[in-house]
Amino acid sequence: MNGVEAVVIGASAGGVAALFKVLGALPEGFAIPVLCVLHLPGDRHSPLAEVLQRRLHRPVREARDKELIAPGLIYVAGPGYHLSVERDLCLSLSQEDPVHFSRPAIDFLFQSAADAYGAGLLGILLTGANEDGAEGLLHIKNSGGRTVVQDPREAQVALMPEAALALQQPDHILSLSGIGRLLATLEPRAC
Amino acid sequence: MINERNTDIEIRLLMEAIYLKYSYDFREYSGASIKRRILHAVRQFDCRTVSALQERVLHDPGMFMQLLQYLTIPVSEMFRDPGHFLALRGEVVPLLRTWPSLKVWIAGCSTGEEVYSMAILLREEGLLERTILYATDINPRSLEKAKQGIYPLQDMQAYAENYRKAGGRRDFSEYYTAAYGNAIIDSSLRENVTFADHSLATDSVFSETQLVSCRNVLIYFNKPLQDRALGLFHESLCHRGFLVLGSKESLEFSAYSGRFEALVRPERIYRKS
């Protein structure tokens, strides 16, 4: 699968283990930026970025406002703020009301990234006990991007992938290891 | 299905129309968030398209005032991020004492929670009497609420907890009177507060200040507009004055990173260098 400029991943309940598995499969020198929203309790400090970085041995950052998205980095949304991608490919944070009780909301990241990257975006929705992300994933598909949903039979909590499948037939329905293999085949869009 | 390309064009036209007609400038706000809020308003007002909303907004100032409530984000609480206020008390107040009189600017004060938090802190430190606070915002309804200082009583428990963590030394309930499910903030706290309509996008500096607090406002601006606002703060602040930002805001990606030094970096407290 060629021509991917960015990958966005959303997950909720069961999402930490799923993220470890998917991101752990990224090959050495993987140059495509990956942006993740994982629902987390509370809105204070979260150690997710540090924990991921230690486990994955690759640079992981909590997304910062107006930071330019850099190749080869993994960004995670911090707690209490929505994360969006702007048209000039910088990140922005905001505190609009929670969506599906969640801030950060997967829908907001997916929708804004679809607007920014269009056909160059790959969206992945994983396990979760809530419908956040389904509409955003549909927006990615409608904007020409590619969509992947974790196989609900394998997901720790099937509600989130099932909500996505109720709205669209994604390009792939895969297990976590299948998603890992797919990511490993990605090649960045030639500039 | 809404046509995405058309929507983008319509949003730009709406921003331009609002600017030309009402002089409110949202053209350099962060695009992703402003788009969501406009589309939300389109649904709430039962408009078929953004253009339909524009038609109503252009011809009906009352409609614009309603839309303005969607375009601004009144999310606030008292002593939000208590560590920030604790650091203000510990690191900034001792230096503020060295000035015989103080001017403090709360930029983007929304419904006033930040203003009263600052006023309480300054009173407890014995500085409120010699301070003038300017509380500014672009939204007249928010400013009106800020002036009234009436908040839901049910929020007070969380605010009291914030206040305690922020180094508060009293019983937080001393600062308000409970009535009919509301908490009415002690009006003496705003004796030295001037509430004013001011836009960081279109207006200029109005006073020299020793401290500017602008929290969770800059995240809604794109980079050029952030730099414009920071330029106003830099110009307003006196020599070695203080700038305090929201917990996820920093000067790192701005044109002004070299013109302030971090005093307490994790709490986003900077000092003009």
The 10s digit of each residue's pLDDT in B111-129 is 999 999 999 999 999 999 9
Within 8 A of B226 by CB-CB distance, chain A residues are 66
Q: C-alpha angle B184/B186/B187, rounded to 5°?
A: 100
Query: For chain B, how are helix, strand and coil distributed in percent, rounded to 5?
Result: 50, 20, 30
A86 domain residue, yes or no: yes
Q: What is the distance in angstroms between the Cα of A78 and the nearest Cα belonging to chain B?
A: 9
Mean pLDDT across the stretch B221-243?
97
The CA distance from A142 to A170, in Å, is 11
- DSSP states of chain A: -EEE-EEEEEE-TTHHHHHHHHHHTPPTT--S-EEEEE--SSSS---HHHHHHHHHTS-EEE--TTPBP-TT-EEEPPTTSEEEE-TTSBEEEE-PPPBTTBSS-HHHHHHHHHHHHGGGEEEEE---SS-TTHHHHHHHHHTT-EEEEE-TTTSSS-HHHHHHHHH---SEEE-HHHHHHHHHT-EEPP-
Predicted pLDDT of residue B3? 74
Structure tokens at A156: 């720790």
Q: How is residue B212 written in tokens?
A: 């500017």
Structure token digits, residue A150: 């974790």
ipTM comes to 0.92
| Mean pLDDT score across all residues of chain B | 96
- Measure B17 CA to nearest chain A CA, in Å: 22
> In this predicted structure, what is the pLDDT of residue B1?
46
Residue B194 neighbours by CB under 8 Å, 6+ apart: B132, B133, B134, B135
Q: Which residues of B touch A108 (CB under 8 A)?
A: 32, 36
pLDDT at A191: 46
In eight-state DSSP terms, residue B112 is: S
Which residues 6+ apart lie within 8 Å of A6 measured at CB?
A32, A33, A34, A35, A69, A85, A113, A117, A120, A121, A122
Phi, psi dihedrals of residue B125, rounded to the nearest 5°: -95, 5
Q: Which two tokens stand for residue B40?
A: 């939300």
How is residue A63 written in tokens?
A: 């997304």
Set of chain A residues whose Cβ sits within 8 Å of the Cβ of B31: 86-87
Collapse the DSSP code of B202 into the 3-class scheme (helix H, G, I; strand E, B; otherwise coil) and give the result.
Answer: coil
Query: How far, in Å, CA of B94 to CA of B117, rounded?
Result: 18
Residues of A annotated catalytic, as ranges: 12, 39, 132
For residue A189, being part of any structural domain is answered with: no
Task: Find which of B111, B220, B221, B225 to mutate to test the A interface (most A CBs within 10 Å of its CB).
Answer: B220
Q: Does residue B224 belong to the interface with chain A, where contact is any CB pair within 8 Å?
A: no
B 240-269 near A (Cβ less than 8 A): 248-250, 252-254
Record the pTM. Answer: 0.94
Q: Is residue A124 part of a domain?
A: yes
Taking residue A51's Cβ as centre, other Cβ atoms within 10 Å add up to 15
User: What pLDDT is recorded for position A29?
Assistant: 87
The CA distance from A13 to A132, in Å, is 12
Among all residues of chain A, which has the CA nearest to that of B254? A66
Instruction: Determine the average pLDDT of the residues in B86-108.
Output: 97
Q: What is the CATH number of the domain that holds A31?
A: 3.40.50.180
What count of residues does chain B have? 273
Once rounded to an integer, what is the mean pLDDT over residues B131-153?
97
Cα-Cα end-to-end distance for chain B: 52
**Residue B4, pLDDT score:** 79
pLDDT tops 60 at residue B230: yes
Cβ–Cβ < 8 Å for A125, A152:
no
The 3-class SS string of A74-122 reads: EEECCCCCEEEECCCCEEEEECCCCECCECCCHHHHHHHHHHHHHHHEE
Which of A64, A90, A115 comes nearest B250 by C-beta? Answer: A64
Whole-number pLDDT of residue A188: 66
In a domain, A24, yes or no: yes
Sorted by where each begins, the domain ranges of chain B are: 4-71, 82-272
Judge contact between B70 and B40, C-beta under 8 A. Answer: yes
How long a stretch of residues is chain A? 191
Instruction: Identify any residues that bridge with B272 across adjacent strands, giving them in sequence order.
Output: B260
**Which of A64, A67, A96 minimises the CB distance to B36?**
A96
Q: Which residues of chain A have pLDDT under 70?
A: 1-2, 42-44, 188-191
Which of A5, A58, A8 shows the shortest CA–CA distance to A32? Answer: A5
CA distance A154 to chain B (A): 32
Question: What CATH number does domain B82-272 carry, 3.90.1170.50, 3.30.110.30, 3.30.1330.20, 3.40.50.150?
Answer: 3.40.50.150
Q: Domain for residue A20, yes or no?
A: yes
Answer whether A115 sits within 8 Å of B32, measured CB to CB. Answer: yes
Please check whether residue B222 touches A, CB under 8 A: yes
Q: Which of A78, A96, A143 sits opposite B33 (nearest CB)?
A: A96
Instruction: Please state, in angstroms and rounded to a whole number, the distance separating the CA atoms of residues B215 and B80.
Output: 10
Mutation for testing the A interface, residue in B84, B248, B256 having most A CBs under 10 Å: B248
Domain containing A34 equals 2-184
Residue of B36, B254, B257 for testing the chain A interface, max A β-carbons within 10 Å: B36
- B2 confidence band (pLDDT: 50, 70, 90): low
- Per-residue pLDDT reduced to its tens digit, B176-215: 999 999 999 999 999 999 999 999 999 999 999 999 999 9
Number of structural domains (chain A) is: 1
